[in-house]
Chain A
Amino acid sequence: MVLASATSDFVSYLSAAISEGSITALAALGFLLTYKATGVISFAQGAFVSLGAYLAYWGSREQGWPVLTACAFSLVVMFMVGVASERIAYRPLRGRSIHVVVIATFGIAEIVTTLINLLFGADPKGLDPLIHGSFHLAGATIPWQRVLIVVVTLLTTGGMMALFGRTQFGRQVRAVAADRETAQLYGVPVGRLSIIAFGLAGSLAGLAGVLIAPVGSINPGFGFLIMLGGFYAAILGGFGSLVGVVVGGFLIGFVQYVIGSYWWRDYQSLLPFVLILGVIAVRPQGLFAKGQTHGRL
């Protein structure tokens, strides 16, 4: 009986670790996209995670649309929000110090968070899951939504790898990241690439938002913490490495939700930082980074 309870504890900790790790990885992929294409780490991503969740909430709860429709609506709008952030925070500041652009992305985050507060209030809201119900595994109850999160993350990662590795868009983005001026000499449309990258990053943030919202509740600031997790995952895995950020996301989930549930429960949310400090002390470039050079669009 004790053994059975121990197993079910472990399985439920592990399922939390894997699904939280997935969300962290999704958030990190958004960072990676704009970083690879433009060299900019966009701290608007956190507010976009929140906004994505609120848009789905608005569609499903306030308009009465099916949850799937509301989520699809959110991803489309978030693409446009991503594009708008490129136009407002990045394009006019191109050529200025990268720090100026990064601070501008914080500005976008503030504006979006404030708008959410004004429109929806600060009270926590709920979003229905795309898949209801749960299943039992070794005595632990696992919601299907958590499984969905993991599957979507793996599919998204695979899609990103194919996008960067096998399409002309991906090759052009990598060429610009490596050597912007030379890419332009061969007619690579750097302006259009940065718009698409920011748009896709917006959709990725929205995706993380609509997936994680049903697991708990949403408030205007909830995306910020998810974004921080994604940022740490990107540092841990090595900025620039797709596989790295996903592994980084899962490692953070594992350390926080498995190790943190057995030992040091009081310090659970602190453990990822210990892990990151440990890793960057030994490998400052992150776990998976190769010696890459990065430019800007």
Chain B
Amino acid sequence: MLEVRDLEVTYGPVRAVRGLSLTVNDGEVVALLGPNGAGKTSTLRAITALATYAGSITFDGREVRSLGVEGCAKAGLIHVPEGRHVFPTLTVHENLQVGATAARGRPGYSFDDVYDLFPALDRLRNREGWGLSGGEQQMVAVARALVAAPRLLLLDEPSLGLAPIVVKAVFAALAEVRSRTPILLVEQNTAQALTLADHGTVLVQGQAVLTGGADELSDRSAVLASYLGQKEIVS
């Protein structure tokens, strides 16, 4: 359903993404891995038309450039940005209500569904965004994306800056989500990402250096580690 072909994203003299191609099919979770500055976020921003790009990105056969940012949301391409970006002056429930703008009658998650998925949010319904912890904000960000009735969910670093126990809770929820919704997941936490993903692509300096099934990537942890500049990946 999502086809990225020869993607190039350039900021002035900086070429953030160079010739990337990837595909996400219905029912799949695809991980985009790589160190800081590899171009992962730029790729997601191009996919929802936030960044201008060269090459082609089609969602259900339509070029996202011509859909525009709002058009992507209305088509069901729902992007949870890096850093969560919960609306700070809106309550948790209001955040969800604004998220539901993009649903436009598409079948998806109801408010009750997401409160069931994240029971911790239920008692925080009336708390404003700025008063939430990082983990709570991440839950709101994912919940807000789900009530937008995503046909494809784009997640940018959902584990960033969270305590391990919170990361576990978020990924447990995502494991439930994946049975209904395909996901394109950007992560630095490779081990965690590969527990969820079917396939992965490793991006270094804007270029895909390694692509394969999640098992295969886990097996090649030493190679992965060298690309990512980490000592140990799969724990």
Contact = CB atoms under 8 A, between A and B. Distances in A.
A186 B102 contact: yes
B87 interface: yes
Interface string A167-188: 0100110110111011111111
A187 B50 CA distance: 13
B89 A292 contact: yes
Contact of B79 (A183, A185, A188, A190): A185
Contacts of B78: 185-186
B97 interface: yes
Contacts of A178: 87-90, 129
A97 interface: no
Size category of the binding interface on chain A: 20 to 34
A168 B70 contact: no
A55 to B, nearest CB: 35
Nearest to A182: B85
A187 B48 CA distance: 11
Contacts of A63: none
Interface string B94-109: 1101110110100000
Contact of A185 (B81, B94, B95): B81
B148 A186 contact: yes
Contact of B102 (A181, A187, A190, A290): A187
Instruction: Give the dominant DSSP class at A's interface.
Output: helix
B70 A179 contact: no
A179 B101 CA distance: 15
A175 B50 contact: no
A171 B102 contact: no
Given A179-B85, A181-B50, A186 B90 contact: no
B151 interface: no
Interface of B: 48, 50, 69-70, 73-74, 78-79, 81, 85, 87-90, 94-95, 97-99, 101-102, 104, 129-130, 144, 148
Interface of A: 168, 171-172, 174-175, 177-179, 181-190, 290-293
